[in-house]
Every structure is written in C-alpha cells, then in structure tokens.
Structure 1
Amino acid sequence: MKKTATRLADGRELLYYDLRDDVVRETVDTRSLGPRRLPDSAGELRHDALLGDCVAIASHRQARTHHPPADACPLCPSRPGRPTEIPAADYDVVVFENRFPSFAGDTGRCEVVCFTPDHDASFAGLSPDRAALVLAVWTDRTAELAHLPAVRQVFCFENRGREIGVTLAHPHGQIYGYPFVTPRTARMLERAAAHREHTGGRNLFDDTVERERADGRRVVLDTAHWTAFVPYAAHWPYEVHLYPRRRVPDLLALDDAARTEFPQVYLELLRRFDRIFAGQEEGAAGGPTPYVSGWHQAPFRHAARGEFALHLEIFTVRRTAGKLKFLAGSESGMSVFVNDVPPEAAARRLREAASA
C-alpha cells in the first residue's frame, strides 16, 4: 500500500491509498474554496444533563450536498471542467476531511472514505484486493487519529441507501474521531465489567461468541479466523455481528491471518445482504439492500480497553421486500426495540443466501 498526502483548496487533508507502489500523485485542487474557518465548521458539543450523553450541534451541515445527479457527484474523480473533492482523474481508495463535519478541531474529526472511483459500484462488488486495501486504510486512519489529543474513540462505518439517509450515492464510508467515549461503547464496557465480576473474571465478549457458536442456530459464517452471527436479542430485522476468533481491542491488533481472510468473509456477508430480499414480492422496491456497517473499537486511553472486543456490526432497516423498519414511539421515545423478524429466522435466511 502506498500513501500520498496532499491538501485540498481550503486546507483540508486528502490522502490517496494505492495498491501499487509506483503510482505518482501530483494533482492539485484547482477550485476556489477559500480557507476553511474553525470553529465555524466545527460545530458545538452540548451535554445532556438527564441522559449524560453529548449532542453535536452542527448547523453548517444544512448546506451539505444532497442527492446530486451522477454527473455532479463530488466523490467521483475530477474531470476537465468538473473538479470534485478528489483532484485526481482516477484513484484506488481516498480519504479526506469532511467538508461538513459533525466534529472538527477541538471536538474531534470526521473523514470521508471513497472505496472506488466507480460511481455505480458498491462495496460488495469490490475485488478481494480492494477490500483488503480498505481494511488497511481503516487501520491506518485508526492509528493516525489515535494521536490526536481531541480523539478518544474511532468509528469506521458505511451508510448505504436512501432508506438509511445517505445523501451521496457514490460508494463511500466515513470515519468519526469522537472526543468522548460513545454511549453505546460505554454501556458495553459497563456490562463487560459486571460480567467479569459475576463470573469470576470471564470476558463478556468471549462468552457471547462462544455461546453463539455452541448454539449454532444464529451463526451465519464460521471460518478459521472469523465468526458471524445474528445476535440473540437482535434489534434490527437483519443484523449480523462479525468477530475475529482471537479477541483484540481494535483494528491495529488484528493478526495477519485474520486480515488475509477478512475480505472473503466480509464480501460474502455483504453479498448475502443483497440477496435476502431478491424475488420476494413482484413489483416491490428492490435494488441493493440498504445497510449500516461499522467497526466497534475500544476507546483510546481507557482503563478497561483490554476487556473490549473489536467487532463489526451490520444491519438493514428493510424488514421485508418493500417494507422498512421505522423507529417509532417505543424505539425513538424509550430506546426499547421491537423486532419483527426472529433472529433465528434471519440467520437461516442469510445462510440460504450463500454464494453458489
């Protein structure tokens, strides 16, 4: 992997990640953007006294690009007369600072990851080499953001599909460097500490994975280095958690064997998600399955960091062909989920959707 750093017209950092070492990157952003001003584009963090969490107030995001036509996509390579966020005419994988960040400066960092220059592609359609490059990029960015004083935790994720709320169709993901430990991770660490105390030192994540493997009904894939399963109390209609067989706190600690096997495992999972609704209802909304996929990593500089287990969670809001799972009163108002699809049935359907 070759990494080349440059700057966009407004001073934001952009990084090219190439599979070939002989690629030369000398392009310049020719747009007239003007320098980015902080804290104007950094937003504001406000603490919720009742719940104890933080909310980012980021009014500048109202101006972000919203469903542009394909010929005006800001994530495609630049063309003569049509400069984009990526000055080069082609690329493998690119990372750049978000122009409309939720967090920036003293409140963290937000980055965009473009997986491919092909506007009509998807992560599921990447080659194993390109998927391995993306994994290397996620790892590199986690390592780099760990050095920023404002960043406590890194979340690498992809939102796909209008149903999820994506405003740019080009295949891309994001990386958030949070200035705090997220509520979801804090809750996991609390549960892990309680489990350790009640079981004489056992690890909650290890026990969860082993319980699923022993039961087997919710296991979707079980390979030499990875286990994927629908959780026993899944919140979403189709939800899969992917764990390396050897517990590690973050992407930096993955061994070579797990890295080598990851592209085949992850691409297979994504392709199964695209197949689960195929042909269910004539005339129903089809197309690729909308999903959210993200890496859960241990926070930096945390006393219980070693107890956390790196894992990836992927879920879709589609509960059947043409029908979505909306977060209504119970979910949105009280954070109590009601799932219409039994986890065992979801796992069975995902196993049936295996590649031939």
Structure 2
Amino acid sequence: MTRLTSTRLADGRELIYFDDAGSPEREPSLLEDHRDLPPRAEPGEVRYDTLSGEWVAVAAHRQSRTHLPPAEQCPICPTTSRNASEIPAPDYDVVVFENRFPSLGPAVGRIPAAPAWGTAGPAYGRCEVVSFTPSHTGSFAELGETRARTVIEAWSHRTEALSALPGIQQVFPFENRGADIGVTLHHPHGQIYAYPYVTPRAASLGAAASRHFDASKGRESLTSSILNAERQDGSRMVLESGHFSAYVPFAARWPLEVHLVPHRQVPDLAALSGEERDELAHVYLELLKRVDALYPTPTPYISAWHQAPLDAALRPSGHLHLQLTSPRRAADKLKYLAGSEAAMGAFINDATPESAAERLRAVAGDSVTRGRETAHTLPEGAST
C-alpha cells in the first residue's frame, strides 16, 4: 500500500507525501519547513457573468507567482542546503501540497446561490500541486508503473478528501505539459482544482450525460454508449485492455485528442477498484508513450480527468474519463485558437480523427508492447 505522511508548511499549507508501496516511515525531523514565509493571502474573488451564466475567478495575486525558474531554484525539487523549496524533505516519491499562489482558496465555503448582475464573492476552493517525481527533468511517461500507481493513489485520495470540503462542487485533476501549453514550472507535475461551482465545460457535458441517462432509464451512461459505439466501429480505437479503452473521438476538436475510459461506470478516480488502478497505471503510461512517439520532440498536452460533479442532478449520470488533447498539428506547427474557436467555440480540426488514431496505433513500440503483454492479458480482438 502507498504510505501517506501529512505535514504543514511554514505558512500553514498542507503537504502530503505519497511514498511508493514498501517505503519506510519518514523521519519526523525532516518534515519541518524552516522557511520564514509571509502569511497566506485572503481568497481572490469570483464574479458572476450574467451574459453567459458562468462564474469567473479573479486572482490578481497570481501575477507574482514563480515563472520558469532555473533548475537550482525549482520550488518543487527536494530541499537542499542551497534551495529551501516547497518540499522540506531531501527526497520523496510523490508529493501533494496546497498551491502558494492559488486561483481558488485557501478558504472554503459556498458562493452565492442566486447570482445576478454584479454578484461577487470570495473565490472559495482549493488548488493543489502534485509533483510526480523528485527529478527535475523527465515526464510522466518516463515514470515506472509503481510510481505511476502512486500518483493514481494520490489523485484518488485527494479527490475523496476535496470532495468532502464545504461548498466544493467539482474536483479536477489535470496536467499541463510543455512550454507550448504555458507551463510555469519545468519539473514534472500536475494540479488539482476543487471548484465551488460546476465549471462551464463540466456543466455542458453533464447536461448531455443526464439527458442520455434519463432516456435509458438509468441503464447506461452516455460515455458507455459512446465507448461501445467506438469499439464496434474500430477505426478510431487506440488501445483496449481488460478495464480501460482509449480512442480518438468521432468529432475530435484537436489535431491530437484521445479519450481514455474505464469500462465500468464510476464517478471519479476514488471509486476505482485496486485492480482498476493497477491497470490504469499501465495503460496510461502506454498512452503517454505513444503520444510522445509521434514526433521527434516531446508532445505538449493537457491531460484532463473529467470526474462527475458533486451536484446531485449531474452526479448519477457521470462517468469518469480522461480527455488528453494537444495543439500540435505537425512537428513544427501548433493549432492556435483563432476567431471561430476562441470567439464562437466552433472548432475546426485540421486532421481527421481516423488518421490520428492510426498514427497512435502505429507508434506502439516494442518496449510498450512487451510491457503490456507482460503485465496484462488483452481480450481477444483487442487493438494493439
């Protein structure tokens, strides 16, 4: 089992070490943060946009956050005598801590329930950083399966804990990877946002999911229906295993877009069984390796875990899945959101989903294939 050790940083923020299975207990003296940090700022603000019916967070304090520091000043490398970082310990496996410059929080609570023009309130919520490795270089795809499994355990633990906080309506683990995506730290890491409202994208997907779920009288989720259709068609499938399948969606918006879906309808990562989490560590690594094999240099991407909102009207129809997207449309070209996409939300894809899926199937390397065959037995007819 993954070993958890919770502590507090000098300004009161929570930090949790998630150590790989079999790791020894941490030495208490190495958990103390000796920095002299200023008190935490009050939450920013959320404002209600009556034109769209959406909440907007205003976080002016984030203008001073750390931006692409040199390796010797990285805030999420282990602490050394020359760099007193956010991680007091001299080494770690995976660590999760509250962001020093959060978009939401640190206070939690409920935002106004009946907003109108001019409605504003504290930006309640929680923003956490998830460091995947103590190494400053590399990527998630380069982690071993044991370490990837530890990250999944961290995501699951934090999903359950954050979902229980007052006022939280949605928990969103994600990774922004690559300078072309706009990362502010090179160190391999992700984030988790706990929102006090259902985000616009989740509300849109949730409404469609609810309609399908109600029409089927609760017998089938919309995500299950789509997965079944994609598996029967086959032309956009990327990989299949015992508990998960990945495909390029029929109406993909981005030049590279892959959805990874558990075969069993579960609302979030916390609801996955131990066996499903074990397999996810393997399958997710395989998918990321294929994404990186498409071009000579690492592929920039956003890895977004869509979990069911906590809203009682949306949660029953929710079905956990990953949406991994990249703006890269060629080795030296990126897709930028221009007028149609940015202003109207009407996407125009420069590549067919079928061709993207074919490329992802074709780049399955020998090491990837060997790892899959050793760790799991795929069902008959599975895509490789």
For Structure 1 versus Structure 2, the TM-score category normalised by the shorter chain is: over 0.9
Partner deviation per Cα, 1:270-303 (whole Å, 9 max, x = no partner): 011111123xxxxxxxx21111002111112423
Point out 4+ residue stretches in structure 1 off by more than 6 angstroms: none
2:359 to 327, 344, 349: 349
What is the distance in 2 between the residues matched to 1:246 and 1:156? 20
What is the distance in 1 between the residues matched to 2:73 and 2:328? 29
1:266 equivalenced with 2:259 (yes/no): no
1:320 equivalenced with 2:363 (yes/no): no
What is the distance in 2 between the residues matched to 1:298 and 1:309? 6
1:69-218 → structure 2 map (5 Å cutoff):
69-104=70-105, 105-106=107-108, 107-198=124-215, 202-218=220-236
Aligned residue in 1 for 2:369: none
1:337 equivalenced with 2:347 (yes/no): yes
SS of equivalent residue, structure 2 residue 76: coil
**TM-score with structure 1 length normalisation?**
0.94
What is the distance in 2 between the residues matched to 1:25 and 1:113? 21
What is the distance in 2 between the residues matched to 1:346 and 1:293? 17
How much has 1:4 moved relative to structure 2?
0.9
Q: Which moved more, 1:345-354 or 1:188-197?
A: 188-197
Compared CA separation, residues 195 and 99, structure 1 to 2 (3 A): same
**TM-score with structure 2 length normalisation?**
0.87
Aligned length: 345
What is the distance in 1 between the residues matched to 2:217 and 2:73? 58
1:220 equivalenced with 2:238 (yes/no): yes
How much has 1:197 moved relative to structure 2?
4.9
Aligned residue in 1 for 2:67: 66
Partner deviation per Cα, 1:95-135 (whole Å, 9 max, x = no partner): 11001000001310000000000001210000000000000
Alpha-carbon contact 1:296-1:311 (below 8 Å) kept? yes
Alpha-carbon contact 2:305-2:323 (below 8 Å) kept? yes
Aligned residue in 2 for 1:24: 26
How much has 1:207 moved relative to structure 2?
0.9
Alpha-carbon contact 2:213-2:317 (below 8 Å) kept? no
- Root-mean-square deviation over aligned CA pairs: 1.3
Unaligned runs of 5+ in 1: 279-286
What is the distance in 2 between the residues matched to 1:92 and 1:351? 31
Partner deviation per Cα, 1:13-39 (whole Å, 9 max, x = no partner): 1111112342314222111112213x2
1:307 to 317, 321, 332: 317
Compared CA separation, residues 328 and 301, structure 1 to 2 (3 A): closer
Unaligned runs of 5+ in 2: 109-123, 367-384
1:254 to 269, 272, 289: 272
Alpha-carbon contact 1:4-1:25 (below 8 Å) kept? no
Q: Which moved more, 1:77-86 or 1:248-257?
A: 248-257
1:275-286 → structure 2 map (5 Å cutoff):
275-278=293-296
